[in-house]
Amino acid sequence: MPLVELTDVSKFYGNIRALEEVSLQVHAGEITCVLGDNGAGKSTLIKIVAGLHQHDTGTFRINGEEARLASPREALDRGIATVYQDLAVVPLMPVWRNFFLGSEPTKGRGPFARLDVESMRRTTHSELLRMGIDLRDVDQPIGTLSGGERQCVAIARAVYFGAKVLVLDEPTAALGVKQSGVVLKYVAAARDAGLGVVLITHNPHHAYLVGDRFVLLKRGTMAGSHRKDGLELDELTRQMSGGSELEQLSHELERAPVPQHLQ
């Protein structure tokens, strides 16, 4: 049974069609990649899964039960964690404080309750290490980490707080080749930990490296749905970029032959 399943889901904003009859499945221990250019509907899809928006038609199931999430908090309570591209971290706060932001453990009771700082430091270091991230100092401001390292901290945080489904919004969009590789390694680590991962991306090369299932969106509709078995990277790239449209464009951009009298 899929952890999350969308069947023919549509979303309209007035007369604007943001999504129309989109379907996808997210299984434990698999990565479902959602690919598409800007305006393809990826952001709307994220918002529905994350509980920010509700779908208008179609069905949305979590563990086989039909659902209509009212808020991101409800999505978290149902085991769906979303890591957005901007990460929503506090750059000047230490790594451990960002790791527990909004869920800080305390010790003591009543007026004597205080943050359990040592526990948060220790847990942050051990959880990052478990994901393969060896930070020497979790007291350093998270803003001093690279973009890839901040993405990895967000992934480790979601795993620690019990996410069953991890939605990643363009985690490699603003990163170089090396940092993108680091992030993809930890995305694969989350999959190997048994999570169902939804990877939103416009990069078919990154998707093909880690993906098990591929959903292609174009202008709010499905342009394709495939498993990796039997699907070559070239074909995935061609379908995402609109192969026939590119061929037509290449013909239009071909140089016209120079007339002989001008040669």
Asked, for residue 143, whether it belongs to a domain, the answer is: no
Asked, for residue 141, whether it belongs to a domain, the answer is: no
4-30 pLDDT, tens digit each: 999 999 999 888 888 989 999 999 999
Instruction: Specify the pLDDT at position 182.
Output: 85
Asked, for residue 148, whether it belongs to a domain, the answer is: no
Instruction: Specify the pLDDT at position 90.
Output: 85
Tell me the residue type at 224: G
Name the residue range of residue 25's domain.
4-91+163-262
Instruction: Specify the pLDDT at position 212.
Output: 92
State residue 112 phi and psi, 5-degree precision: -95, 0
Q: Taking the chain, what is the end-to-end CA distance rounded to the nearest angstrom?
A: 68
Looking from the CA of 53 toward its CB, the CA atoms found within 13 Å total 16
Quick check: 258 pLDDT over 90?
no
Instruction: Specify the pLDDT at position 250.
Output: 56
Asked, for residue 9, whether it belongs to a domain, the answer is: yes
Instruction: Specify the pLDDT at position 263.
Output: 61
Distance CA 163, CA 81 (A): 6
Instruction: Specify the pLDDT at position 198.
Output: 94
Asked, for residue 139, whether it belongs to a domain, the answer is: no
Asked, for residue 186, whether it belongs to a domain, the answer is: yes
126-136 pLDDT, tens digit each: 988 887 788 88
Asked, for residue 230, whether it belongs to a domain, the answer is: yes
240, exposed or middle or buried, with CB in 10 Å at 0-12, 13-18, 19+? buried
CATH number at residue 171: 3.40.50.300
3-state DSSP assignment of residue 208? helix
Helix (H) and strand (E) counts in the chain: 9, 12
Residue 166 per-residue DSSP state: E
Asked, for residue 11, whether it belongs to a domain, the answer is: yes
Quick check: 244 pLDDT over 60?
no
Distance CA 238, CA 89 (A): 36
Listed residue (132, 133, 151) closest to 142, CA to CA: 151
Q: Mention every residue, 6+ apart, whose C-beta is less than 8 A from residue 253.
A: none
90-109 pLDDT, tens digit each: 889 999 999 998 888 888 78
Which strands form 65-66's sheet, in the order they lie side by side?
16-26, 4-13, 57-62, 65-66
What's the average model confidence in pLDDT over 142-146?
87
Total count of domains within the chain: 1
